[in-house]
C-alpha cells in the first residue's frame, strides 16, 4: 500500500468530475425511488446553468434536499464559475442571513428561483459553501473549493451502490455524493426522511457502500434480520466519536466488509481514515502526519493543518477557528493512551459535575457495553449543589425491570469510571432522537 501521506494530491480532479456524466444512460442517482440517468442530470444542470448565466459568476443559494438536484447545482455552479451555498433550511427571503452573506439568488429544492438580491460579490473561482450545524443561532458558512473537496475521493473502486444516510447539504453528505459520482456508482437517496425511515430504506435498497454516524449504524444493526441480509462491502462511520462496541458489532455482522472510520468536519474537511477496526488513531500520526495532514494536541484538544481544509468562514468568523500560527482547532478532546490517540468527545459537550469534567461521549461508550443497554444519550441537568448532575436516557435491549436495569448499569459503570462520571439519574425511553445530520441531539437542560 502506498504511504497515505502521499495520497492527498492524487484524488479525483475537476476534469474527472465532469467526465463522469459521459455515459448518458448510466444511472447516477436513485432519488426517492426514481432512477436518474447521467443524461437527465446533464439536462438539469444545463438548464440551471442557463438560468445562472445572466448573474454569473455569482454567489447563489440552493435548498439542497435532493441529491440529484444538489449534483446538478454543483455542476452548473462549476460551469458558470459560481459559488453555490447549499442550505438545509430556507429562512424567509426578508431574513438578514441572505444579504449578510451576499447571496445573489435563492433557489428552492427543484431549482426554481425564489428571490434575487443585488450583490456585489463576483467569485473568482467556483466554490461550495456549507452551513455549520451550530447549536445556537444562525449557522456559520464554510467556504470549500470543489477541487479540495475531491481531494480524498478515490476513483479506483467503481460501479458501487452507495446509500446516502446524511443530508446532502452536510459535509459528510456532500462527500458521499461526490464519492458516488466520481466513482461512477449509483447513489440511493431519499429527501427529508427521518433516520428511522432511512434505516428501513437501506434494507430494501441493498447498497454495497454505506456511510453513517455510529447512532445510525446501531439503529441499522437492530433492524437487520437474517431475512434481510445486506451486500455491504464498505462500511464507513463518521460524524460522531466511534466507540469500540459499534466497531466490533459491525465486524461481527459484516465479516467481509471494509470498516472505515472517517475523521472529518465541515471546517477541516476530510482529514483521514482509520481502517484497523479500533477506536482513535495511531499516535505515530502526531509525529508523521497522515494523508497530507499535520496533527497536534494543545490543551487536550486536537488541532490540524490540512490541505483539504475550508478556505474560511464567510465574514470574519475564521479567526476564532484558527490559532495564530494557522492551525485549525477541531474542538475534539483527545487523550494519548500508549500508542493510540483516543477521542473523548467535543469540548462544547463538556458537562461539569461537581467540578469534574465529563465528556458525555465517553460515558455513552461505556454504557453501550452494558448488555441491557441498546441506545443511550448522556446529558447534564443544572443543579444548585453539583453544577450539573449526570443523567442518561436509556433504550433497553432486554425485558428487565427498570430497577434491575438501574442496578446493572450502575454497577457496570462504577467498576470502570470515576464516580462522578457515572450517571445517577436514568430515564427509560423508547428511542433517542437524532438531528438532520444523524447525530444525537445534544441538549443540556
Partner 1 sequence: MTTTEICAHIQTIVNRLLEQKGQPPVTLTEGSRFLGGGIPIDSLDLAVLVTELQSLTNKDPFAAGFRNFQTVGELAALYAE
Three-state DSSP class for residue 389: strand
Q: Do β-strands 234-237 and 209-212 pair in parallel, antiparallel, or remain unpaired?
A: parallel
Q: Count CB atoms within 10 A of the CB of residue 34.
A: 9
Q: Is 204 in the site for partner 1 (CB under 8 A)?
A: no
Q: Considering the complex, what minimum distance in angstroms separates the CB of residue 235 from partner 1? A: 36
* Contact residue for partner 1 among 35, 419, 431, 443 (CB under 8 A): 419
- In the chain, the N- to C-terminal Cα span, in Å, equals 48
CB of 410 to partner 1, least distance (A): 5
What count of residues does the chain have?
445
Stretch that binds partner 1, among 109-117, 250-258, 335-343, 414-422 (CB under 8 A): 414-422
CA atoms of 402 and 10, how far apart (whole Å)? 54
Piece in contact with partner 1 (CB under 8 A), picked from 159-167, 173-181, 365-373, 404-412: 404-412
Q: In the bound complex, what is the minimum distance in angstroms from residue 394's beta carbon to partner 1?
A: 13
Q: Which of 399, 401, 395, 321 is nearest to 364 (CA)?
A: 395
Q: Using CA atoms, how far apart are residues 119 and 112, in angstroms rounded to an integer?
A: 19
Q: Is 421 in the site for partner 1 (CB under 8 A)?
A: no
* The one among 407, 416, 431, 443 contacting partner 1 by CB under 8 A: 407
Please identify which residue in 146, 353, 359, 365 interacts with partner 1, judged by CB under 8 A: 353
CB 255: neighbour CB atoms within 10 A? Answer: 7
Q: Is 406 among the residues that bind partner 1 (CB under 8 A)? A: yes
Q: CB count, 10 Å around CB of 208?
A: 18
Please give the Cα distance from 377 to 365 (Å, whole number): 10
* Binding flag, residue 410, partner 1 (CB under 8 A): yes
Q: For cell 475521493, what's the residue?
A: 153
Give the number of residues in contact with partner 1, rule: CB under 8 A. 19
Answer yes or no whether residue 311 interacts with partner 1 by CB under 8 A: no
Interface residue with partner 1 among 249, 318, 354, 400 (CB under 8 A) is 354
Helices (H), 244-382: 244-253, 284-288, 318-321, 360-367
CA dihedral 157, 159, 160, 161 (to 10 degrees): 160
Cβ nearer to partner 1, comparing 287 with 427: 427
C-beta closer to partner 1: residue 283 or 420: 420
Question: Binding marks (x or -) toward partner 1, 355..384, rule CB under 8 A?
Answer: --------------------------x-xx
Among 425, 431, 441, 443, binds partner 1 (CB under 8 A): 425
Residue 102 CB neighbour total at 10 angstroms: 17
* Binding positions for partner 1, rule: CB under 8 A: 353-354, 381, 383-386, 389, 403, 406-407, 410-411, 414, 419-420, 424-426
Amino acid at each position: 500500500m502506498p504511504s497515505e501521506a502521499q495520497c492527498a494530491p492524487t484524488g479525483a480532479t475537476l476534469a474527472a468530475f465532469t467526465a463522469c456524466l459521459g455515459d448518458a444512460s448510466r444511472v447516477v442517482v436513485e432519488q426517492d425511488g426514481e432512477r436518474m440517468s447521467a443524461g437527465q442530470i446533464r439536462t438539469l444542470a444545463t438548464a440551471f446553468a442557463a438560468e445562472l448565466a445572466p448573474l454569473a459568476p455569482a454567489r447563489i443559494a440552493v435548498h439542497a434536499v435532493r441529491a440529484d438536484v444538489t449534483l446538478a447545482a454543483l455542476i452548473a455552479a462549476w460551469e458558470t464559475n459560481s459559488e453555490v451555498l447549499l442550505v438545509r433550511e430556507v429562512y424567509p427571503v426578508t431574513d438578514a442571513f441572505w444579504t449578510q452573506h451576499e447571496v445573489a439568488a435563492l433557489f428552492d429544492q427543484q431549482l426554481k428561483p425564489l428571490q434575487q438580491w443585488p450583490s456585489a460579490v463576483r467569485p473568482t473561482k467556483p466554490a461550495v459553501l456549507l452551513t455549520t450545524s451550530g447549536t445556537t443561532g444562525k449557522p456559520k458558512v464554510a467556504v470549500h473549493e470543489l477541487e479540495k473537496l475531491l481531494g480524498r475521493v478515490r476513483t479506483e473502486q467503481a460501479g458501487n451502490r452507495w446509500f446516502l444516510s446524511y443530508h446532502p447539504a452536510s459535509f459528510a453528505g456532500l462527500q458521499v455524493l461526490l464519492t458516488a459520482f466520481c466513482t461512477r456508482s449509483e447513489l440511493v437517496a431519499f429527501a427529508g426522511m427521518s433516520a428511522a425511515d432511512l434505516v428501513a430504506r437501506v434494507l430494501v435498497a441493498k447498497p454495497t457502500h454505506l456511510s453513517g454516524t455510529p447512532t445510525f449504524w446501531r439503529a441499522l444493526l437492530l433492524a437487520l434480520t437474517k431475512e434481510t441480509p445486506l451486500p455491504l462491502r464498505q462500511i464507513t462511520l463518521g460524524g460522531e466519536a466511534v466507540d469500540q462496541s459499534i466497531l466490533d458489532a459491525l465486524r461481527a455482522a459484516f465479516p467481509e466488509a471494509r470498516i472505515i472510520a472517517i475523521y472529518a468536519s465541515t471546517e477541516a474537511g476530510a482529514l483521514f481514515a482509520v481502517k484497523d477496526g479500533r477506536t482513535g488513531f495511531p499516535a505515530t500520526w502526531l509525529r508523521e502526519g497522515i494523508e497530507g495532514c499535520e496533527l497536534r494536541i494543545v490543551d487536550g484538544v486536537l488541532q490540524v493543518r490540512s490541505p483539504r481544509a475550508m478556505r474560511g468562514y464567510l465574514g470574519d468568523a475564521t479567526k476564532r477557528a484558527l490559532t495564530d500560527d494557522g492551525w485549525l482547532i477541531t474542538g475534539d478532546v483527545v487523550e494519548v493512551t500508549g500508542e493510540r490517540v483516543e477521542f473523548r468527545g467535543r469540548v462544547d459537550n463538556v458537562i461539569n459535575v461537581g467540578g469534574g469534567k465529563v465528556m458525555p461521549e465517553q460515558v455513552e461508550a461505556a454504557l453501550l457495553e452494558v448488555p441491557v443497554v441498546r441506545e443511550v444519550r448522556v446529558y447534564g441537568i443544572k443543579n444548585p449543589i453539583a453544577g450539573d448532575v449526570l443523567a442518561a436516557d436509556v433504550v433497553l435491549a432486554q425485558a428487565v425491570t427498570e430497577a434491575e436495569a438501574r442496578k446493572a448499569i450502575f454497577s457496570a459503570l462504577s467498576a470502570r469510571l470515576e464516580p462522578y462520571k457515572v450517571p445517577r439519574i436514568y430515564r427509560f425511553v423508547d428511542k433517542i432522537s437524532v438531528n438532520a445530520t444523524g447525530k444525537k441531539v445534544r441538549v443540556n437542560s
